Amino acid sequence: MERLIFHIDVNSAFLSWESARRVSQGLPDLREIPSCVGGDPKKRTGIVVAKSIPAKKYGIQTGEPVAMALRKCPNLVIVPSDFELYDKCSRAFKAICASFAPVMESFSIDEVFLDMTGTSLIYPDPVAAAHELKSKIHRELGFTVNVGISTNKLLAKMASDFQKPDRVHTLFPDEIPEKMWPLPIRNLLFLGKASEQKLLNQGIRTIGDLARERASNVQYWLGEKTGHQLWQYARGIDDSPVKAVPDEAKGFSVETTFNDDITSIEQVFPILLEQCDVLATRMRRKDKKCNCISVTFRTLDFRNRSHQTKLENATDLTDEIYINATRLFKEFWKGQPLRLIGVALTGLTDGTYEQMSLFEDTENKERHRKLDAAMDEIRMKFGNDKITRASIMNSNARIGRKAKAQMKNENTEEQKVKGGLSIKNNATILPL
């Protein structure tokens, strides 16, 4: 049986939800005037989170400072974020979506996938069913959605991103050459900025160009795994299931949420370093090493984006993990303001086994191993807050209490202190 998948996406979610509330109160509809959801223009971190279509006509961009948006449109109506409202609207939206399908997967605060496979007796016409769902949401909740329909999640999401707002689009396999292949390569789902530039350098301008290219060439340009996956996506190939419950992670992970927007790479690096440090410490205490490192961030629209890399050799070294984490982040971050950053270590192996490479700098690796061992010992004896890397001393990178508690409570065998470190003034500061 051929699969049938819906992707439902709320149009300009934050602005739409605020607008629906205001309309119910007899106030003007923000969607019909130049308006945005944003921060205080007097603050440096105040940015445009969501904008109306009339505001877009003034050249206002999501993520730009509110002060700049006001210069483009002095009459711009600015409303603050209301996350309690967003959560309430999201729950109501997802409840309606869930009533239409046996399985629903939450993709973000304003997006879901529905597996409609086998519902032909209830909904003989998928397009009509999508219109019924869209109308029910508008009628009961007061905001609009786009619905994409296809045979897999990739194509359904690509379809929902076609013309907006308040539309139903299909992108079935036989429609790919006409509807998807002419699109610019940057429109391909999950294509990062770095990969986009590499493809552009090879003359790949459209999704169709990528689909018609030899798979071996794409793998050579982008790496074996990433290249193969993106080449398949360009051809509309995706067999990922719609999951009501996400897979349980088998590894170590930590996430940090911020009150203020993270907008520069200089802010990100200390955060990643502290996260990698705590995860590597926890992993070593369990006598494990990881084969896979992933980095996740959340933008102001509540969308999570992740990127991962497979290591040639498993590692438990903080420095190696951090180098890979920063590389991953730089490859796929496009400069959007961030509210969450996370790192995960998976593909765990027994830490007593290590495959060596003839080309490794064994002396440098051993130095980092001794440094990690010394820091682990100090933390075990005197507490996790008694030793800190100099590069994160004055940063806003503070891991959550949960992660610290996990470190504190995890038992391990003591190791000998190496490297001659000492405790001074209740804290040891190490360079990195």
- Both 191 and 270 in one domain: the answer is no
On the CB side of 35, CA atoms within 13 Å amount to: 19
The CATH number of the domain where 24 resides is what? 3.40.1170.60
Instruction: Of 30-44, 122-136, 343-357, 373-387, give the range with the top mean pLDDT.
Output: 122-136
Confidence of residue 1 (pLDDT cuts 50, 70, 90): confident
Averaged confidence pLDDT in the chain: 83
Q: Which of residues 194 and 366 earns the better pLDDT score?
A: 194
d(CA 112, CA 103): 10
Residue 40: domain span: 14-83
Contact predicate 50/301, CB 8 Å: yes
Spot the catalytic one: 2, 18, 64, 111.
Answer: 111
Tell whether 298 and 385 lie within a shared domain: yes
pLDDT category of residue 249 using cuts at 50, 70 and 90: low
Q: Are residues 274 and 342 in the same domain?
A: yes
Number of domains in the chain: 3
Q: Is-above-0.75 flag for pTM?
A: no
How far lies 154's CA from each of 131, 159, 243, in Å? 20, 9, 14
Mean pLDDT of 68-75: 92
**What mean pLDDT is predicted for residues 160-182?**
96
Same domain, 230 and 341: no
Q: How far apart are CA 386 and CA 423, in angstroms?
A: 8
**229 shares a domain with 330:** no
Cα angle value 112/307/316 (rounded, 5°):
130
- Encoded tokens for 337: 């303001």
- Which of residues 62, 83, 104 is at a domain's end? 83
DSSP codes of every residue in 363-430: HHHHHHHHHHHHHHHHHHHH-GGGEEEGGGTTSS----HHHHHHHHH---------S-----TT-EEE
Residue 338 has pLDDT above 60, yes or no: yes
Nearest-angstrom CA–CA distance, 416 and 51: 57
Residue 2 belongs to some domain of the structure: no
| β strands within 2-102, DSSP E | 5-10, 35-38, 48-51, 77-79
Which residue type sits at 151? T
Query: Each residue of 255-311: pLDDT tens digit?
Result: 887 767 788 888 899 999 989 988 998 888 888 999 999 999 988 777 788 889 999
Identity at 258, one-letter amino acid code: F
User: Could you say which of 67, 83, 99 is where a domain stops?
Assistant: 83
- Greater confidence (38 vs 377) lies with 38
Distance in angstroms (rounded) separating the CA atoms of residues 327 and 233: 23
111 included as an active-site residue: yes
